[in-house]
A and B are shown apart, each in its own frame.
Chain A
Amino acid sequence: MPDEHALIAASQAGDAAALDELVRAHQGRVYGFAMRMCRNVEDAKDILQETFLGMLRSIREFRQDSRFTTWLYRIAANACLKKRRRGVHDPHPEQELSLDALMPHPDADGRRPEIPDWSSDAERALLNGELSAQMEAAIDKLPRDYKIVLLLRDVEGFTADETADMLKLSVSAVKSRLHRARVFLRNELAGYFEDTGAKKPEKF
């Protein structure tokens, strides 16, 4: 594959083959992101089309001093949010996750909660392929505004600054949503490992 810089420059100059190649290089990743955001193929297809149509129409405005994936994901993320705002899937899109509610609390006698460390079980379960479905289901339960931040930061690997830029949020809002989303997910997974009895809680 030619270097992306050259591909982008050729696309900006109107080279249709270069544009096709740019689409091919990024379509898989954008599709995966859209599927996780929308949960169904039809909506993911719409996101995909809207994203690459946006790319086609505004590729000339892209400046090579920024990262192309970040630029493309900004279009994709906005397409997802616009679609989800129609309220098709998420009954509580604006729901807030409170840190207090997510924190393990002492019991009525004031004892600290037992917190088992299932990290090594998670590693094993991931290798066996058991865990992916649990993770996907837990991600699906996140309210939209948290889910998109978690996907961009922890699944797609964008930085806090890039995510803030894509979603037009402050960096501190991104960090705050990411933390809540991670804790929510952690708690969901903890429930899964408790249910499967993967490891007995340790006493403190």
Chain B
Amino acid sequence: MECRELFARLSEYMDGELSQELCERIRQHLANCAPCVNFAHTLKTTSELCRRLPSRPIPPDVAAELRAFLSSQRQAS
């Protein structure tokens, strides 16, 4: 496997979506290619960071406006 093919399949590899055979070829490539290892690490980190982005709490006035809007819609129907 070449860097290019590995590069194209890294997300599927990370997400456990590839066949055993392909995973093995990827592992073999990674064993001998430091730049690809670093790319894979940083791509995985990027995805994990997304999951840990702080939530954006809903401002109380936005929540109040939503409540008022929904109640007016309910009354109208």
Binding site for B on A (CB under 8 A): 16, 20, 23-24, 27-29, 31-32, 35-36, 41, 44-45, 48-49, 52-53, 56, 99, 103-104, 112-119, 122-123, 126, 131-132, 135-136, 139, 150, 154-155, 157, 160, 175, 178-179, 182-183, 185-186, 189-190, 202, 204
Contact = CB atoms under 8 A, between A and B. Distances in A.
B47 interface: yes
Contacts of B51: 154-155, 157
A56 B55 contact: no
Contacts of A132: 53-54
Contact of A31 (B38, B47, B56, B74): B56
Contact of A155 (B3, B7, B50, B62): B50
A58 B49 CA distance: 35
A27 B70 CA distance: 12
Given A99-B7, A135-B49, A115 B12 contact: no
Interface of B: 3-4, 7-8, 10-12, 15, 17, 34-35, 37-39, 41-47, 49-59, 62-63, 65-67, 69-70, 73-74
